[in-house]
Every structure is written in C-alpha cells, then in structure tokens.
Amino acid sequence: MIVVTDETPLLRAENLTKYYDSSGGFLDSLLGNSQDVKAVDGVDLELYEGETLGVVGESGCGKSTLARALLRLVEPTDGSVYFQQRVEEDGEPAGRREVDLTTVSSDDLRDLRTDLQYIFQDPFSSLNPRLTVGDIIGEPLDIHDIATGDERTERIYELLETVGLNPSHTHRYPHEFSGGQRQRIGIARALAVDPEVIVCDEPVSALDVSVQAQILNLLEDLQDELGLSYIFIAHDLSVVEHISDRIAVMYLGEFAEVGSTDEVFSPPYHPYTEALLSAIPEPDPLWEGDQIFLPGTVPSPLDPPSGCRFHTRCPQIIQPAAYDLEQDVWRSVVDLKLRVKDAETLESIATVPDETPADDATSRTSIRELPSAQFESVIRSEYDLPTELSDSSAERALSQAIDELYEDNVTGATARLDDAFTSPCEKHHPEPAQTGTNHRIACLLQDERYDGDRFEAVDADSGSGSDNAVADD
C-alpha cells in the first residue's frame, strides 16, 4: 500500500512515447520504407490531486495524442503512466495503490475507467446521434453496473442539473442542442462514474467565446465541488491561464516548459513560450504589442530537427562563440542555411523580384540568368541580410556559400553553410533546467554551460570545446 501525500502525484507519466507507422502498407514495410511519426516523444508529466494541469501548444504538436496515450485510448509506444488508485475495504476507503496503466489488463483498465474519464474536443461528433441524452449519460452507469431502474434515472436527472441542463432534456437527441449544451452533456457523461481525473481535450475550442467562458466556469465549479483533477488541453494560452494551476508548453512532441501559471507567464521564458505569449491580444484598442513572428513552419514529426527541436524557428538561437552578429542577422543566416539544405533547385531558394506586368510572364527573369553581383543581391534581399555582415569571418563564409549557389552547386553551398554556421542548438538536445521551485525550461539558454555569450560543450571524440570553432577556408 502506498501512502499518498501532497507531494505524491495522482497521475504520473515517465518517458511517455507514441510513434505512428507512416508506411503505406505491407510493401513499404517489406522494403524498409516505413518511418515513424514521433507524435509524443519522451514526455514526463505529473498531475496532483485537485489541480489543473494545462497543456498548450500549436496544432499538430502532439497534445491530443498525449491525452489519449495517458488513458490508453491509444496504446503508447513506450514509457509508463502511474495512477494512485483508490482502495476500499468493506466499503470504506483504505488508502491507495500505484497502478501502471500501460501494463494492466484490459479488464483492469476497464475498471479504472471509473476513476479516469475523458471529455472530447468536438461536442458534435463525440455524442452518438442515435441515442437520447438519457441513454448517453446512462451508458457508463450500465457498463460499470453502477445504477439501475429508478436509481439510474435519478442519477441522470442529477447529472443534468449539475451541468446546468434541465432533466426534461433526458429524452431529446443531440441534434436538438447547441454546441455548448452538447459539451455539457459530454461533461455529464464523464461525471457519471464519479471520476477523480478528467482529461479535457480542447473542450471549448469548437465553441463561441461567450459559451467558452460558461464551460470553463462550469469546470471550475465542478472541480471545487467534487475535488476533481484536470489535464486541460488547449492551443490558447489565455484559456489555460484562466483555469490552470500549472502549465506545460508542448512543441513537436516534447515539453518545452513546465511550471506554475505565474511562473510560465513571467520571465524567464522558453523562446517558444515567449512567442505564444506575445500573440495574446490585450483588451485595449490602442494597444500595440511586440508580437514575435516565428519564421518557417513547424517541422514534420516524421523527421524532427536535431538538437533543440525549436531551433529551426527560434528567434534566440545561439550563435557559434566565434561570431558576434546581430541576433536578427544570425537568424536570417540560419534561415538561408535551412532553405539551402532542403532545396532541390535555385528557384526554391530565392526568386527574382517581379517588376514586369502580370500578363507578361515571358519577359520575367530567372535567377539563373542574373549576373553574379545581382544574384548575390537577390539572395541577401530574400533573407533580409545586409550587404556585408559585421563579422568578417562570417561574411567570408557566407559569400563563399553564395558563390557556390551561383555556380548551381547547392550541395557545396550546403556543406559550406553547415561548416561555418552550426549553432549549439542544432547539436545538443536541451535537458529541462530548473529555474524556479517547480519551473523547468528545456532550452540551452538556461543551461549552466551557457554564460550569456558562449556555449561551452565538450566534444565526446576529441575532448575539446566543440562549439567554439569556425570553419574558415
């Protein structure tokens, strides 16, 4: 028997991983063409009794997959999820025991569903259109043999009133309700079995703003009344700020930052969190925010970037110690390097500004036809690079790479840019650094090896500082 204290998480995940096979079928697998989509990649998570943990991030970062893997609605690829299950003796509470949800049998997992419930994102598709509201809410009661007959009916009426609906709605069908009312029905269904933990998978994202506030307030009231613990999935930081005690910021299958709501909304930030916070509008018509616009797009989880997964878009990506460039210029150099690395043709790297009439396409100039000086000017203009970099060694390396591009040697340009402009963020995977009582940021800027000017790392092969050298032909 495990003695549960305030320091013992009610639900805990260790190295939780979920990969999806992207192969097109048997033939791809046979030929070795399959590749894993790394939807959730080694996530550690704790949920304490009576708290709300908000998980926030862009669409496609793995939030919903994480939520489903936690409750084994999808089978995790690796890792463990531990739950402190209530134990009773002779109908009386007798403590808790720790259960690994990833290893229990299907029958035991089904029994645990009375403690662990899920509210789905779409209130329109998550309710069976062929069942009445009473049957939808009563189904968990039937499955777990909790109530029958008049007791079942009374329980359904009670649940409807609890979520702000009228018991007379029992015999209606889902299509007769608004989106907010349907989500209340979904909440009532989750509450039917008296759970301890509810995973809320973006429960308000499909609702109008005014209805969102009603549902959030309802969830908070239910938490206070019933002692519930929530994992609240969302893509809007302003929503999770309202309801969460702690927040985990997710990017490309990993947690970038985890901390209390106050800590996450106060410096220091992970650069990704800072960008998300900058996008929250203020209720002031004269407000002019310094919104951070991230370059590029979210990389594919089929082939996540090396090192820090955010480095391909990070405005604070660390420079090699030998350079001293303006940060926005360094970001532009990295953007050029990444584009060249993925390019198949010169036209995909840069285009000549179109100064011809729209209907005169035949007279437009190809970048391949430009003289050397104009070619270099087009490249620099495309990536907001100055005519000459302030650092002479960096300028020499950049000019040589552009010369390689002019000779249509994309491979050679890629090699030169890789040799000269490799950030520590591309080489080292950040481990979460403790920046507060329970505040963890997975960023090399918070690493003890980074002193605000240079990142010191020992190369495993040579035993020397490997992040301070610059290729110089």
pLDDT in tens, the chain (473 residues): 334 445 789 999 999 999 998 776 655 555 566 688 999 999 999 999 999 999 999 888 999 999 999 999 999 999 999 999 988 777 777 789 999 999 999 999 999 999 999 999 888 888 999 999 999 999 999 999 998 899 999 999 999 999 999 999 999 999 999 999 999 999 999 999 999 999 999 998 878 888 888 999 999 999 999 999 999 999 888 889 989 999 999 999 999 999 999 999 999 999 999 999 988 877 766 666 678 888 888 898 988 999 999 999 999 999 998 898 999 999 999 999 999 998 888 888 888 876 544 444 444 567 888 898 999 999 999 999 999 999 999 999 999 999 999 999 999 999 999 999 999 999 999 989 998 888 999 999 998 888 777 777 644 333 344 454 444 44
Query: Do the beta carbons of residue 56 and residue 237 sit within 8 Å?
Result: yes
CA angle 332, 338, 342 (to 5 degrees): 145
The C-alpha atoms of residue 395 and residue 393 are separated, in whole angstroms, by: 5
pTM for this entry? 0.88
CATH class in words for 11-25+34-279: alpha beta
DSSP conformation letters of 47-59: E-TT-EEEEE--T
- How high is the pLDDT of residue 356? 45
Peptide bond between residue 386 and the one before it cis (omega within 30 degrees of 0)? no
The token pair at 32 is 């070795």
CATH 3.40.50.300 in the chain, residue ranges:
11-25+34-279
> How many of the other CB atoms lie within 10 Å of CB of 174?
21
Q: Can you give 351-392 as a three-state secondary structure string?
A: CCCCCCCCCCHHHCCCHHHCCHHHHHHHHHHHCCCCCCCCCH
- How high is the pLDDT of residue 354? 65
- Cβ neighbors of 414 (< 8 A, separation 6 or more) are 337, 340, 341
Residue with tokens 């939520």: 67
E strand or H helix that includes residue 155: helix 149-162
The C-alpha atoms of residue 428 and residue 308 are separated, in whole angstroms, by: 7
